[in-house]
Amino acid sequence: IYSTFIDSFNDNKYFNFISSLVKNGITSSTYSKRTEVIMNFLKPEIQQLQYNITLAKCDATMGHVIKTLLKDYPTIEEFSKCSSNLCIKTLKCQVMFLTYQTEHNENLSGLQNFIKERTSVQYLQCSENCDGIKTVHSKISIHHLFIDVLQWDGNDPTLSMCSTEAASMVQVKLNDIPQILVYENTTYELRGAINFYKGKSGLRNSVGHYTAYAKRGTHNWELYDNLKKRPIPVKENSTILCEFLIYTI
């Protein structure tokens, strides 16, 4: 199970922090340990302000956090090889999270088919300087899936000039999110969803606010919000602004 995977890393401060938080809950040392994780992994820019105030400037978008904290544990690995004997391009590429793009008013029912298509063998032109055919094989993590969910209209000239993290959030009910995804012989269960409230400008560097919805059983969900004193039970038919989905074994 996934908890065994997390507990197996004794020398990883991030995984140790997660393990301690799950087993012991929030303690007096939780916030200092979280600060250590942020400082060691996200490496914020530190500025000293007046009145002994320290400002930490940090890229804390969900995508960047996953890429930084889980850089050795990608969602998918891609292996490519060219058919030409004159080409020596054999590449391995790590993809930290999958990106699932929806159209306007589309739900997430196509996720399973997306996984199937995303992991199918691809045959592509190698490059402009090579006539060979590049074969790309994909291998999904046996532990977890992180999926970035976008509602993206490529025909919108305004959005086309922005980062994908400025795309509209997908509004979806928790019980409409696929509960199970399957890849080969591995079954992944939905564990949580990340909700994001954008800043007023909608730009990538605007100040927004993340909340997390954790699944606690077949029909039970909890909302985790730093602006709240404790987790809040929520109904499974609650609508969220979904940015990321987390599935684990």
pLDDT band at 161 (very low <50, low <70, confident <90, very high): very low
Tokens of residue 246, six digits: 């987390």
Task: Let me know whether 105 and 21 are in one domain.
Answer: no
Task: Let me know whether 154 and 242 are in one domain.
Answer: yes
Task: Let me know whether 51 and 69 are in one domain.
Answer: no
Given a cut of 80, whether residue 155 has pLDDT beyond it is no
Task: Let me know whether 33 and 85 are in one domain.
Answer: no
Domain end point (choices 41, 58, 75): 58
Task: Let me know whether 54 and 76 are in one domain.
Answer: no
Task: Let me know whether 110 and 18 are in one domain.
Answer: no
**3 state DSSP class of 15:** helix
Q: For residue 67, what is the enclosing H or E element?
A: helix 62-69
Of the given ranges (11-25, 56-70, 147-161), which has the lowest mean pLDDT?
A: 147-161
Cα separation of 244 and 62, whole Å?
8
Q: Which position has the higher pLDDT, 161 or 29?
A: 29
Given a cut of 70, whether residue 160 has pLDDT beyond it is no
Are the beta carbons of 142 and 73 closer than 8 angstroms? no
Of the given ranges (72-76, 148-152, 179-183), which has the lowest mean pLDDT?
A: 148-152
Cα separation of 162 and 114, whole Å?
24
Cα separation of 151 and 115, whole Å?
17
**3 state DSSP class of 22:** helix
Task: Let me know whether 72 and 169 are in one domain.
Answer: yes
Are the beta carbons of 174 and 132 closer than 8 angstroms? no
Task: Let me know whether 123 and 240 are in one domain.
Answer: yes
pLDDT at position 206, please?
63
Range of the domain at 124: 59-248
pLDDT at position 157, please?
45
Task: Let me know whether 90 and 53 are in one domain.
Answer: no
Cα separation of 222 and 213, whole Å?
6
Task: Let me know whether 224 and 128 are in one domain.
Answer: yes
Instruction: List pLDDT tens digits, range 62-81.
Output: 999 999 999 899 999 999 99
Are the beta carbons of 213 and 195 closer than 8 angstroms? yes
Q: Which position has the higher pLDDT, 205 or 224?
A: 224
How many domains would you assign to the chain?
2
Cα separation of 220 and 10, whole Å?
31
Q: CA angle at residue 113 from 161 to 177, to 5 degrees? A: 75
Are the beta carbons of 234 and 174 closer than 8 angstroms? yes
Domain end point (choices 58, 75, 95): 58
Domain end point (choices 27, 43, 58): 58
Q: For residue 197, what is the enclosing H or E element?
A: strand 186-197
pLDDT band at 152 (very low <50, low <70, confident <90, very high): low
Q: What residue type is assigned to position 84 of the chain?
A: S
Of the given ranges (51-55, 77-81, 125-129, 176-180), which has the lowest mean pLDDT?
A: 125-129
Instruction: List pLDDT tens digits, range 127-136.
Output: 888 888 999 9
Q: Which position has the higher pLDDT, 181 or 23?
A: 181
pTM value? 0.85
Q: For residue 57, what is the enclosing H or E element?
A: strand 54-57
DSSP string covering 107-122:
-STTHHHHHHHHTS-E
Instruction: List pLDDT tens digits, range 66-124.
Output: 999 998 999 999 999 998 888 877 789 999 999 998 876 667 989 999 999 999 999 99
